[in-house]
Structure 1
Amino acid sequence: MNEITENYSIRLMEEKDIDQILVVEHDAFTTPWSRTAFYNEIVNNQFAHYLVVEIDSEIVGYCGVWVIIDEAHITNIAIHSKFRGKKLGETLLLHAMELARTFGAKKMTLEVRVSNETAQQLYKKLGFEAVGIRKNYYTDNLEDAQIMWVNLYE
């Protein structure tokens, strides 16, 4: 089992991080978010909270969560492919779950590609349960999304 071997830190995303975030975004997704989308999330969206994971001052992953009243929604989570398999995604998601709790969330949801079994296994490990399907959710190939929820206080 690959454990985190490097020194890492997790902190809130800042505007100055967007260039490095875009590197991770383009590595991880076939339809990456734009610079403007990230800027609007961290500067203008009062519900959005984004975390980054750094190794030696390099951002290698990030996670976004919206907290609205008592529900949290993971907007996206990504670890650069060079750093996968080191439990950074799990650690980052655990931090996002704790962050959501501090803002009053009782439940958390996310969507994941039905073909992304690796991510689904991680989410299940952390208590998420599959509750439904969003048909043709992903615009790049019209793949369905698995909807998953977790109670943050169980």
Structure 2
Amino acid sequence: MSKTLTFRKMNTEDIDQVLNVEKQSFTLPWSREAFFNELNHNQYAVYMVIEDEGNIAGYCGAWIVIDESHITNIAILPEYRGQKLGEALLRKMIEISISMGVVRMTLEVRVSNAVAISLYEKLGFQKGGIRKNYYTDNQEDAYVMWVNFS
């Protein structure tokens, strides 16, 4: 990893690298079409990448509607994990969301994903409920987590 990491808005040229991150991170990865539609047809979507010398190390997406932001996905390549890049990326998305007038943020996370839950709690998120059988690959439940900024 280089000493210079760059945050920037995701664009359609990033989709191939983002798909690589997605496939290495999730059992139910999003498709190329899903990312293309998010970037080109969803007026509420905001997607960021974190780059290491031109290589995408991770990404984060959110839907920002009026004063709420919902994290759609966040992922870091395995070789970059454990270096607080996920935290940096989520903090950047929080900063962007607040600058757009957001007062609360929500997300879902697998109940078994202790590392992610710990990160979210560190950033002030609280468990607000459970979505039963949320993940279709194994019917795992998801915690709904939220944080208020005001």
TM-score by length of 2: 0.97
Q: What is the rounded CA distance, in whole Å, between the counterparts of 1:18 and 1:50 in structure 2?
A: 11
Asked whether 1:125 is paired with 2:94, we answer no
* SS of alignment partner, residue 43 of structure 1: helix
Q: What is the rounded CA distance, in whole Å, between the counterparts of 1:127 and 1:56 in structure 2?
A: 31
Deviation at 1:5, TM superposition (A): 6.4
* Corresponding residue for residue 97 of structure 1: 94
1:1-154 residue pairs with structure 2 within 5 A? 6-153=3-150
Q: Is the 8 A contact 1:5 1:86 kept in 2?
A: no
* SS of alignment partner, residue 3 of structure 2: coil
Which structure 2 residue ranges, 5 or more long, are not aligned?
Answer: none
> Runs ≥4 in structure 1, deviation > 4 angstroms?
none
Deviation at 1:6, TM superposition (A): 3.2
Q: Is the 8 A contact 1:97 1:152 kept in 2?
A: no
Letter in 2 for 1:101: I
Deviations 1:102-148 (A, max 9, x none): 22110000000000000000000000001100000001111000010
TM-score by length of 1: 0.95
Which structure 1 residue ranges, 5 or more long, are not aligned?
Answer: none
RMSD of aligned residue pairs (Cα, Å): 1.1
Q: Is the 8 A contact 2:15 2:32 kept in 1?
A: yes
Q: Is the 8 A contact 1:67 1:73 kept in 2?
A: yes
What percent identity do the matched residue pairs reach? 56
